[in-house]
Copies of this chain bind each other. A is one copy, B any other.
Amino acid sequence: MRIMGTRIADTIRERIEQMIVTGEFADGERLDEVKLAEQFGVSRTPLREAFQSLAASGLLTLEARRGAFIRHPDFVELVEMFEVMAELEAMCGFRAARRVSEQQMRDIGRTIEACEAAIAKGDFDEYYRENETFHHLLYEASGNSFLAREAARLHKRLKPYRRMQLRVTGRMPQSMREHRAIYAALEKSDSKAAAATLRQHVAIQGERFNDLMASYRQMAPRKAG
């Protein structure tokens, strides 16, 4: 990809995006243009461009003549989004099973081990980072760069809520087993198994559904969902 010259608007966009995905804003919160501009030491112009861009990615909502709002998806929409995410990841896995290179397999193997090591250490932030790398490697391994970008985009958008899920105890060992199963499926070039395992890994169903719902109510008590 082409290296872009430094535009303030782009910098601002990334900073705000970071703030959003780390859950810095509450649901329904309005992002004050003048306050943020002041805070970043820029004018409203680049800030508004950043808003536009973020809104198009779905990270915030622009309401005409009312402003930019953080609108967490309601519970139903969140489940819908995870449903699509699961399918995109399954699609990546399906294709990756046939196309993944040896180098990519080594990289994926390494992140799996890093995830397990992080859990052993109890370092959740590191687990989180490594897990993210694991999934991004899978997207790339699909061999479909458009698919990889779209998957990464939705992955980012779900970030605050995935984090929420991870807080739930007891899921880690299961998650680790799934990582291993995905790896095995890729190694055997078993497209269907890779897809099915990934779909299972990401999907919100069974116990995980209840876990998510519980965390969700805690995080966004205003909405019924």
Complex Cα gap A4–B81 (Å): 24
A43 at the A/B interface (Cβ < 8 Å)? no
Please, how many residues of chain A have a CB less than 8 angstroms from a CB on the other chain? 30
- Chain A, range 42-62, C-beta contacts under 8 Å to B: 45, 48-49, 52-53, 55-57
Nearest-neighbor residue (CB-CB) of A48 within chain B: B49
Q: Which of A83-91, A111-119, A165-173, A200-208 interfaces with chain B?
A: A83-91
Q: A216 to nearest B CB, angstroms?
A: 16
A2 at the A/B interface (Cβ < 8 Å)? yes
A41 at the A/B interface (Cβ < 8 Å)? no
Q: A52-B56, A56-B57 are in contact. Are A83 and B5 (CB under 8 A)?
A: no
Task: Determine which of B5, B53, B80 lies in contact with A55 in the assembled complex, contact meaning CB atoms within 8 Å.
Answer: B53
Of A49, A55, A73, chain B has the most CB atoms within 10 Å of the CB of: A49
Question: Is the beta-carbon distance between B5 and A65 smaller than 8 angstroms?
Answer: yes
Question: Is the beta-carbon distance between B77 and A146 smaller than 8 angstroms?
Answer: yes
A147 at the A/B interface (Cβ < 8 Å)? yes
A22 at the A/B interface (Cβ < 8 Å)? no
**Contact residues in B for A81 (Cβ distance below 8 Å):** 146
A210 at the A/B interface (Cβ < 8 Å)? no
